[in-house]
Structure 1
Amino acid sequence: MTLTFDYYFSFRSPYSYLSTPQVENLVARYDIAPRMRFVLPIAVRIPGFFKQVNPLWPPYLLRDTFRISQMHNIPYRWPRPDPIVMDYAAGDVAAEQPYIYRVTRLGVAAERAGKGFAFAQRASRAIWSGEVDDWHEGDHLTRALVDAELDANAVEDLAATHTAELDAEVATNEREQKKAGHWGVPLFVFRDEPFFGQDRLDHLIWRMRHAGLQER
């Protein structure tokens, strides 16, 4: 029996991106399936977040994520452009956020089509790997949809014409994330038990083994 788990994911989170190869390896080894629950970045969800955060946190995040990328041989560079429009010096996040809303809506639409994880892998790689600049322009996200075996035209049309519906689904994911017991990403939830961070995937597998997890 395939065991499923919720995978809370933000396209602005480097840790979410860095978790995707590890989850892919687990899916190849075990009879499991992630159910993607896309959420908006904490910078959008919590107004003034970057005005309140400890100033030591951003530089540590950069050091930590580069270390993880080196350990796991994952290509990584801070995105150009950042998925969030903000003034770093002032900590002000713009009211208009065209990049993150578009890619998040595409993710929700992809999950509806049964390819949410495949799209998350490919889109986050376009954003975070450093292989391309201007990931939000041209056909980079379209190629991510195609490579995920999706009908790119249908998914892009849904994301562009059903914005309120898809945004409501994102808001539901954010409520369910809090109900599960955490606010951060990546967050993995199995049978109402949360596991926060890519460094807790071993704990997730340990728990799933108690529920009868089988290797493929």
Structure 2
Amino acid sequence: MTHTVDLFWSFRSPYSYLAIPRILEITRDYDVAVNVRPVYPIAIRNPKFFSDVNPLWIPYLMTDITRVGEMNNIPISWPRPDPVNMNRETKEVPADQPYIHRLTHLGIAAAEAGDGLAFIDQISRLIWNGETRGWQKGDHLSNAAAKAGFDLAHLDQLISADFDVYDAKVSENQQALEQSGHWGVPTLAYNGEAFFGQDRIDLCLWRMKKNGLNARL
């Protein structure tokens, strides 16, 4: 029997990016279906988060994602441009956000149309692996989408037709995330339990195995 897990995920979360390779391994090796549910980053959901957080948090984050990437042989570098428009000095998050709404809505459209996991994998690699500055320019996004089997122009057409519809779908995902028992990303929600963080993926796998999850033949 296929086991289904919800993946709450953000294009601005470095840990979400770092989680994808292990999740892909699990879906290849076990009879698991991943329901990709993109949400807005915490900076959009709570614009005061970074101004209120302990000042040690950001330096620790940068150190930690670098070593996690190194340990797992996953290249990682903070995106340029940042998917969230934020003043690095004041930590202010302005209302004008040229990238994150589009990215999040594209993730939802891809998940509805096909292999959402492949889409967020390819797009997040483009944004986070440090090889492409100016990931939003030219044909970078369309090429990454094509690697996942999607026509970016078609997805853009879907999401541009009604911003409010996709914005509402993001809100539904955010509400479902909190109902699962957490607020952060990446979170795997399985059978009434939330497993938060890229370091809890194997704990979720353990739980699914206890519930009869089988390896793929």
Give the structure-2-normalised TM-score: 0.97
Q: Distance in 2 between matches of 1:104 and 1:27?
A: 22
Per the alignment, residue 59 of structure 2 pairs with 59
Q: Distance in 1 between matches of 2:10 and 2:158?
A: 20
Q: CA deviation at 1:144?
A: 2.0
Q: CA deviation at 1:151?
A: 3.0
Q: Secondary structure at the residue paired with 1:86?
A: coil
2:99 aligned counterpart, secondary structure = helix
Q: How does 1:116-127 map to 2 (within 5 A)?
A: 116-127=116-127
Q: Secondary structure at the match of 1:6?
A: strand
Root-mean-square deviation over aligned CA pairs: 0.9
Superimposed CA distance per residue, residues 106-138 of structure 1 (whole angstroms, 9 cap, x where no aligned partner)? 100000112211110000000000111111111
Tell me what 1:33 maps to.
33
Pick which of 123-132 and 141-150 moved more: 141-150
- Counterpart Cα distance in 2 of 1:139 and 1:163: 23
Q: Which runs of 5+ in 1 are unaligned?
A: none
Counterpart check, 1:140 vs 2:131: no
Aligned twin of 1:43: 43
Q: Distance in 1 between matches of 2:144 and 2:112?
A: 16
Say whether the 8 Å CA contact 2:142–2:151 is kept in structure 1.
no
**Greater alpha carbon shift after TM alignment, 33-42 vs 140-149:** 140-149
Q: What TM-score does the superposition give when structure 1 sets the normalisation length?
A: 0.98
Residue by residue, what CA displacement relative to the aligned partner does 1:169-212 show, whole Å, maximum 9, x if unpaired? 00000011011110100000001100000101111011101221
- Give the deviation of 1:140 after TM superposition: 1.5
CA contact (8 A) 2:141 2:152 kept: no
Large movers: runs of 4+ above 3 Å: none
Instruction: Please give the secondary structure, in 2, of the residue aligned with 1:81.
Output: coil
Query: How far, CA to CA, are the matches of 1:7 and 1:120 in structure 2?
Result: 11
Aligned residue identity for 1:144: A
State the aligned residue count. 216
Q: Which residue number corresponds to residue 24 of structure 2?
A: 24
In 1, Cα distance between the equivalents of 2:84 and 2:116? 21
Residue 4 of structure 1 aligns with an amino acid whose one-letter code is T
Name the SS for the 1:117 alignment partner: helix
